[in-house]
Chain A
Amino acid sequence: MIHSLFLVNASGDIFLEKHWKSVVSRSVCDYFFEALERATEPENVPPVIPTPHHYLINVLRHRIYFVAVIQSEVPPLFVIEFLHRVVDTFQDYFGVCTEAAIKDNVVVVYELLEEMLDNGFPLATESNILKELIKPPTILRTVVNTITGSTNVGEQLPTGQLSVVPWRRTGVKYTNNEAYFDVIEEIDAIIDKSGSTITAEIQGVIDACVKLTGMPDLTLSFMNPRLLDDVSFHPCVRFKRWEAERILSFIPPDGNFRLLSYHVSSQNLVAIPVYVKHNISFREGSSQGRFELTLGPKQTMGKAVESVLVSSQLPRGVLNANLNPSQGTYTFDPVTKLLSWDVGKINPQKLPSLKGSMSLQAGASKPDENPTINIQFKIQQLAISGLKVNRLDMYGEKYKPFKGIKYMTKAGKFQVRT
C-alpha cells in the first residue's frame, strides 16, 4: 500500500519524509516536480502520477502537497482519502496544518504517522483513538512535560480500539454536559446571464460538538426527514434504525465530529437567496469598459444576508478598474486580474451596487470572454432546504445535558455567468 510520504511546500521543497517500508529515495519526487511545473495552476497537478517504478498520489491542502509513494495496485481513492484524513488529524492536533506547525511538532507528527499506518495499511485513523495514544500538544502539557519529564504517549491500548464503539474513548468526564449541533447548508448554483437558475443544489452537513460524560446514546429526529434522501453518515450512526424509522440513533464520539452530510440534488427546487443585476461590457475600438453590479435579496425567508463577498476574474486585457461601491470596499489586483468586493450585509432598502469603468490595454481588441461572478454569503438561523430538527433525546446516562441547535446557510460554489 502506501510506501512513503513526502510533504512538499509551495516553493517546492520537501520538508518532511516518512517511510513505512524500505526507504524510497526522495529523488522520486522529481517526477512530481515535473508535473508541478507543467501544471499552470497549483490545483492542476494530476492526483496520480505514474513513474517507472512507483506511482505518486498527491493531495493539495493548505498549500502543502502530500505526496504518497505507492508501488503496486491500490484504489487511488483509498490513498487520497487517507491523505485527507492525515491532514484532518494534523488540523485537529495543531489547530492549523501549516508547514510551520508541522515542523514545530515534528515528533508528534512522526508518532501520529507511525500509528496511522502499519506497513502502509491504515491502523488507527479515528481521532478519539489517536488522542488516547498520543496526547495533542497543548501549552500546559508542554510545560508540565518539561518539568516532570512525563510524555505525550499513552501507555494503555485505547479501549475503543477493541470495543464495538471504536470511535469513542472510555472514561469521558465533564462537569458541564453539553451537546451542540450545527446544521450548515451550502448552496451550489449556476445562474445564467438572464438571471435564471441553470442548476442549484444544496450540500448540507450536521456538525456536532458533543461533550457528554460516560456512554450516552443519542437519538436525533427531524420534522421533515424526507428531505434527506441522499446522506452519508459517521460510522457511529445506526443505519438500520435510519432505514426503518428515519431517526438518527448513535453513540457519539467525544468532541467535534461530522455526524452526517446530505445532498439535496438539482432535481429538487432550491430557493436562491440573492440576485445579481450586472452589466459588464466592452466596446470595440475603445479602451474603456463599463462595469455595473447590483445585489439584492430574494427568497431569504425574512432573514438577513450577511458577509457578502463578490469576486470575479476579469479578462486578461483589463488593465485597471475604477469603480465606486455604494457600500463596502473593493480591490482589484492588476496582476491576477481578480476583482473582489467585500459587501457586508445587504440592506433591502438600499441595495448595494458597484459601478464604474475598466481601462483596457490600448489597441488590443475587445476581450471575448465574459467574466463569471462568484458570490459568498451567510444567512444565520436558516436552513434553506427547510430541514428542521425535531428533538434530541439521550439514553444510557442519568444526567440532563444541555442541548443546542444552530442553523446556517452559506453560499458554496455560487456562480453568476455574465
Chain B
Amino acid sequence: VSAAPSAFSDEKGGSASEPEYGHDPASGGIFSSDYKRHDDLKEMLDSNKDSLKLEAMKRIVAMIARGKNASDLFPAVVKNVACKNIEVKKLVYVYLVRYAEEQQDLALLSISTFQRGLKDPNQLIRASALRVLSSIRVTIIVPIMMLAIKEAASDMSPYVRKTAAHAIPKLHSLDPEQKDQLIEVIEKLLADKTTLVAGSVVMAFEEVCPDRIDLIHKNYRKLCNLLIDVEEWGQVVIINMLTRYARTQFLNPNINESLLEENSEKAFYASDDEEEEDKKAEPATLAKRKPYVMDPDHRLLLRNTKPLLQSRNAAVVMAVAQLYFHLAPKAEVGIIAKALVRLMRSHSEVQYVVLQNVATMSIKRRGMFEPYLKSFYIRSTDPTQIKVLKLEVLTNLANETNISTILREFQTYIKSMDKDFVAASIQAIGRCATNIGEVRDTCLNGLVQLLSNRDELVVAESVVVIKKLLQMQPEQHSDIIKHMAKLIDNIQVPMARASILWLIGEYCEHVPKIAPDVLRKMAKSFTNEEDIVKLQIINLAAKLYLTNSKQSKLLTQYVLNLAKYDQNYDIRDRARFIRQLIVPTDKSGALSKYAKKLFLALKPAPVLESPFKDRDHFQLGSLSHLLNAKAAGYQELPNWPESAPDPSVRNVEIPDWSKCSSRKDRKEKKVEKPFYSDSEGESGPTESADSGNCESDSGSGSASASGSDESGSGSESEESGEETESDEEEEDEEEEKKKRKKLDKTKAKKQAEESAERCTIHTIHQISCIINFDQFDMNKITSVFSQTLAPSGSIKMYELLHRIKGEGLAVEYCFSRQPFSPEPNMVAVQIQFTNNTNSETKNLHIEDPRLQSGMRIREFAEIDVLAAGESVTVVMGIDFCDSTQAANFQLCTHTRKFFVSIQPPVGELMTPAFLTENDFKKEQGKLMGMNEILEKLTLGEKCVNEHVIVERVTATANLSRVPCGSDKECRFAGKTVSSGCLVLVTVTTKEGGGAQLTVNCEKMLIGTMLVKDILQALSQ
C-alpha cells in the first residue's frame, strides 16, 4: 500500500519535464510497464485534485493522438465525466467519444450526466452535452438521443439547435431506422430562420434524406436570401443542394439555343424531300415551345450566389462556379472564369482541383477561358500533375487563331527537364494537330524532328503520336514512314516499336522495299521482344504475306513457328489464328478468302479526345467528377424537367386560403362571359413573367420579392374580409339575421366609440353573459354566435400596469375577440384605465412602440382627462403578424411614461371561421403532413362531456365550432388574424378519459403552441 503513492509521486516528477512516454527505462516487458503506467494514471484520475486529473487526462489524450491504445483506462476516466473542471471534462469527452463504442456497458454510466447537461441553463453546456451524447456510438441509447435531438431542435439558443442539426446524421448512421423521425426534425429545423442553423441542417438533409426535395420548397427563398450570411462551409453545402433542387424545379435556360441547334442541324443534313416535311413540322414544334421565361426563383438563386464568387474560400467559389455552369443561361456563365482563374494562385492542391474542373468546362465552353489563356502557361516550378492539367486546358482552348502562340509555348515545354511533362506535351501537340487541320503538317514536321532527340522517351512518345497523325493521310508521308523504319534499330521502348511495326505493316504498299527487310530484322530478334512488339511482328508478317508473299513467305512461316512455342498464350493463340487465316490449306475455312480484306481494310483514323470530354455529367466540383467515377453517396444531377413543376410550392406567404377560393369563384363567374375570361387566362402568365423580369432587372433582390408578396397579401386581406361576409350570406337565414344584428352592433359601437364606448362594451358583455348561460342547451344554433360572443364570458383580464407601479394609474387589458373594424387583420385589445389617485390624469396616449418587424399598432385616441377615481375603456388594434412576440410601447400621461408590453396567448391570434363539415374535411385534407400535429391526452377530471370540452377549447382559442355528425368528435375552425391561415382543431374523445387532439395549421409554430395550450386546458 505504501509503495503505490511513492511510485506515483515519482511518475509525477518525471511527467512534468516529459509529458509523453518516450522510452522505457525499466527493461520489463512492454506489457508490464504499460500496466504499471496505467496504474499510476488511474491513481491520478482517482485523486481529488483537479490538477492531477488534468495532467493524467492530458497524457491519456496524447496517447490517443499517437494511436496508442488507452481503452483499459475506461472505468477510471469515465468516473470523471462529472468533474467540475471544464478542461478535464472536455478531455474526458474526447476520450469517451473515442472508446465508447468498444466499451458500451461502461459508457452507459456517463449518460445520466449528459442528460443533466441537456437541461443546463448555459447554452454552451447544453450544446456540448448534446454533442457528446450524440457522438457516443452505442445503439442502446438511440431513444435517448432521439429525444434529446427533438428537444434541442426547439431550444431557444440557435447554437443548441445547430448542434441538434449536427446530431441528426450521427443518429442516422447509428440507427437508420430512425430516419422518419429524423426527417421530421430536419423539416422543423429547415424552417429555422437563423443563419447559424441553415448550413448544418442542410448538411443533415443531404446525409439523411437528399431525395426529399419537397422539404426544400417552402424554405427555398429563405435559403437563397440567407445564403450570403451563412458561414462559408454551410454555403458550400447549401449551394450544392440548391443546384440539384434547381435542376428539378426550373426549366433549362438554354433550351431555345439547343432547339435552334437541332433545327439547323436538321436543315443541313436533310435531303430535299425531307425538308418539306420539316418545314411543316418546324413551325409546329416551335409553336409548341413557349418562349422561355426564367422563373423568378431561378433568377433569385443566380443573383444571390453571384457575390459569393468573391469569397476567400475556394470551396465556396467552386460551388458557385459549378452552380452557374449547370444552371445559368449560356451568356452568363462567363463570369465564373475570372474567379476560377484567381483560384489558380492558391495552394497547389486547390489548383489541382480547379484545373480539373476548368478542363471539363473548357471543352463545353471554350470561349469562357480564352481571354485567360496566358494564365494557364506553365512554369518550370509547377508540380508535374499541375503541368499536365494546364496542358490539357491549353489544348482544349486551342483554335485557329491562337494555335500559333500555343504551339510556340509547347515548343519550350518540350525542352523541359521533366520527362513526364515532355511526353504529355508531345501528346498535346498531336491533339492540336488532329483538331486543327491547318497546323497538321507543321506539327508533324516538328514531331519528326523530335525523332532525333537524344532522350528515348521523347522519341518513343513522338512515334506513338506520329503514328496516329499519319493514319489520317498516309499517302503523303511515305518519307516519314521510311524514317521511322530506320529508327527501329535504336528505339527500345516497346510501345514505340510496336507503333512503328504497325505503321509499316499497315502501309507496306507505300514502302514495298523496306517492309520485308524490317520483318527480317524483327524475326531475328523476335524471342527477345516484349509481348506487344511480338504481336505486332506477327501482324506485320501476316500483312506482308498477303501483299508480298513471294518475299516474305518463309519469314512469315518462321515467325509463326516461333510464336507457336511462345510462353505467352495470347501470342500462341494469335499465331494459330493467323496461320489458319492466311496460309491456304485444304481444311482452311471460308474466311481465308477474305483474309486480305480482314487485314488490310481501311481503318478509321483515331480521334484524339480529351480525357475530360463528357465528364460534366458528373456535378462539377464533386469528388465523383474528380475521380471520373461515381463515389459513394453521390447524388446524380437530374436532367432538366420537360415542363416546369408548379412554382407556387415555394410560396411561403401562405397561399391565402380565402384568396384561392375567391379566385376560383371569380373564374367560375367569368365562365358566363367567355370573352373576358379568355383574355384573362392568357394575360395571367405573361403578367407574372413580366413582374418576374422587373424584379430581376431592378436587382433589389429578395427584399422586393418578399415585399411584393407581402403587399399582395395585404391588399388581399380586405378582400378576404368581404369574402367571409359573402360566405356567411350563403348560410342559413336564421344565422344571417344574427349576423346582421352583430354587424349593427359593431356599427353602433363604431359610432359610439369616442363618447360612450364603455357603455356599449358593457352591454355586449351583459348580452354575451346571458347567451353564455343558454349556449349549451342550444348548441347547434349558437355555433355562429359563439364566434364572437361565447368566449367573452370567460374573458381574462391581464395586467398591463399595476396600481403601485403606475403611481395610482392601473391599466388592465383583455382580448375582446371583436373584429377590429378599422383594420381587419389586427387583434382588438381592450384596455381599461383606472385612475386611483386623487387628481386628474391627463393626456393618456401611446408613444414609441417598439415592435418586431412587420408588426403594427393602431393606437387608441388620446384620452384627454381621466378624473380621479374614474375608469375608462378604449380599444386598440395590434397586428401581431401571427406571432406571440410581445408588442412593447410606452404608455404616457402628462407627467410620466411607463414601459409596458402586451403579449398575446396564441389562441387570441385567430378569429373564428365558418365551415361546413365537408369544407372542414376538405381543408383538413390539404393540411396534412408537416402541417398536422397529433397529440394524445387524458382528459382532466372535469372534462366529462362535450360541453366542457367545447367551453375549454373556445376559451383557450378564438375558434368557432364546426358542426359534426359524430358525438365523439368536436371540431373547431378559425383563421389567423393577420395572414388568414386556417386553423383546424379536432378533439376526438375515447373510452376511459382518453382523447386525441389534432391541429392542422399551415403555420407550424402556431399549431404547436396551440396544441400546448389546448392540451393544458383540457387536461386540467
Contacts from A to B (Cβ < 8 Å): 1, 14-19, 21-23, 26, 40-41, 43-44, 46-48, 50, 55, 58-61, 70-78, 80-82, 84, 103, 106-107, 109-111, 114, 118-119, 121-123, 125-126, 149, 151-153, 155-157, 161-162, 164, 166, 188, 190, 192, 198-199, 201, 203, 230-235, 239, 243, 258, 261, 263, 265-267, 313, 315-316, 365, 368-372, 374, 413, 415, 417
Q: How far is the CA of A122 from the CA of B98 in the complex (A)?
A: 19
Query: Which residues of B lie under 8 Å from residue A153 when comparing CB positions?
Result: 86-87, 90
Which of A21, A22, A156, A266 contacts B374, CB < 8 Å? A266
16 pairs, CB–CB < 8 Å, chain A vs chain B: A22-B137, A43-B383, A50-B629, A75-B315, A81-B314, A84-B347, A107-B62, A110-B64, A119-B166, A121-B166, A192-B412, A232-B317, A235-B232, A267-B371, A370-B415, A413-B381
Which of B49, B127, B310, B633 contacts A233, CB < 8 Å? B310
The 10 closest A-B pairs by CB, nearest first: A72-B633, A151-B87, A199-B374, A157-B124, A149-B51, A122-B233, A77-B315, A73-B634, A47-B349, A372-B380
Tell me whether A78 and B236 are in contact (CB under 8 A): yes
Query: Which residues of A lie under 8 Å from residue B377 when comparing CB positions?
Result: 190, 198-199
Query: Of residues 14 to 55 in B, which have CB atoms within 8 Å of A's CB atoms?
Result: 20, 49-51, 54
Q: How far is the CA of A152 from the CA of B58 in the complex (A)?
A: 12
Taking A73-B635, A198-B374, A233-B311 as contacts, is the C-beta distance between A415 and B379 under 8 angstroms?
Answer: yes
Query: Of residues 132 to 171 in B, which have CB atoms within 8 Å of A's CB atoms?
Result: 134-135, 137, 157-159, 163, 166-167, 169-170
Q: How far is the CA of A413 from the CA of B635 in the complex (A)?
A: 39
Which of B50, B62, B233, B454 contacts A149, CB < 8 Å? B50
Q: In this complex, what residue of A is CB-closest to B93? A: A114
Q: How far is the CA of A203 from the CA of B148 in the complex (A)?
A: 50
Q: In this complex, what residue of A is CB-closest to B60? A: A107
Q: In this complex, what residue of B is CB-closest to A266? A: B374
Q: How far is the CA of A249 from the CA of B311 in the complex (A)?
A: 16
Least CB distance, B631 to chain A, in whole angstroms: 5
Tell me whether B626 and A17 are in contact (CB under 8 A): no
Which of A47, A73, A114, A192 contacts B624, CB < 8 Å? A73
Q: How far is the CA of A370 from the CA of B234 in the complex (A)?
A: 48
Tell me whether A73 and B623 are in contact (CB under 8 A): yes
Query: Which residues of A lie under 8 Å from residue B634 when comparing CB positions?
Result: 72-73
Q: How far is the CA of A59 from the CA of B313 in the complex (A)?
A: 16
Q: Verify if B231 is at the interface (C-beta below 8 Å from A).
A: yes
Tell me whether A46 and B385 are in contact (CB under 8 A): yes
Least CB distance, A26 to chain B, in whole angstroms: 6
Residue in A59, A119, A157, A313 whose Cβ sees the most chain B Cβ within 10 Å: A119
Q: How far is the CA of A72 from the CA of B134 in the complex (A)?
A: 21
Tell me whether A47 and B353 are in contact (CB under 8 A): yes
Tell me whether B353 and A19 are in contact (CB under 8 A): no
Write out, one digit per residue, whether chain B residues 310-339 have a CB within 8 A of any chain A CB (1) or not (0): 111111011100000000000000000011
Tell me whether B101 and A22 are in contact (CB under 8 A): yes
Query: Which residues of B lie under 8 Å from residue A17 when comparing CB positions?
Result: 65-67
Query: Which residues of A lie under 8 Å from residue B584 when comparing CB positions?
Result: none
Q: Verify if B200 is at the interface (C-beta below 8 Å from A).
A: yes
Q: Verify if B375 is at the interface (C-beta below 8 Å from A).
A: yes
Q: How far is the CA of A417 from the CA of B385 in the complex (A)?
A: 21
Tell me whether B61 and A106 are in contact (CB under 8 A): yes
Q: In this complex, what residue of B is CB-closest to A312? A: B380
Query: Which residues of A lie under 8 Å from residue B64 when comparing CB positions?
Result: 110
Taking A162-B158, A234-B312 as contacts, is the C-beta distance between A48 and B623 under 8 angstroms?
Answer: yes
Q: How far is the CA of A400 from the CA of B372 in the complex (A)?
A: 45
Query: Which residues of B lie under 8 Å from residue A47 when comparing CB positions?
Result: 349, 352-353
Q: How far is the CA of A110 from the CA of B240 in the complex (A)?
A: 30
Q: How far is the CA of A314 from the CA of B122 in the complex (A)?
A: 64
Tell me whether A26 and B67 are in contact (CB under 8 A): yes
Tell me whether B311 and A232 are in contact (CB under 8 A): yes
Q: In this complex, what residue of A is CB-closest to B127? A: A157
Which of A155, A232, A267, A413 contacts B86, CB < 8 Å? A155
Tell me whether A235 and B166 are in contact (CB under 8 A): no
Q: How far is the CA of A417 from the CA of B379 in the complex (A)?
A: 9
Query: Which residues of B lie under 8 Å from residue A22 when comparing CB positions?
Result: 101, 137
Which of B65, B166, B307, B341 contacts A110, CB < 8 Å? B65
Query: Which residues of B lie under 8 Å from residue A365 when comparing CB positions?
Result: 454
Q: How far is the CA of A19 from the CA of B134 in the complex (A)?
A: 15
Tell me whether B159 and A161 are in contact (CB under 8 A): yes
Least CB distance, A52 to chain B, in whole angstroms: 11
Tell me whether A107 and B384 are in contact (CB under 8 A): no
Tell me whether B94 and A110 are in contact (CB under 8 A): yes
Q: How far is the CA of A415 from the CA of B626 in the complex (A)?
A: 30
Q: Verify if B588 is at the interface (C-beta below 8 Å from A).
A: no
Q: Verify if B944 is at the interface (C-beta below 8 Å from A).
A: no
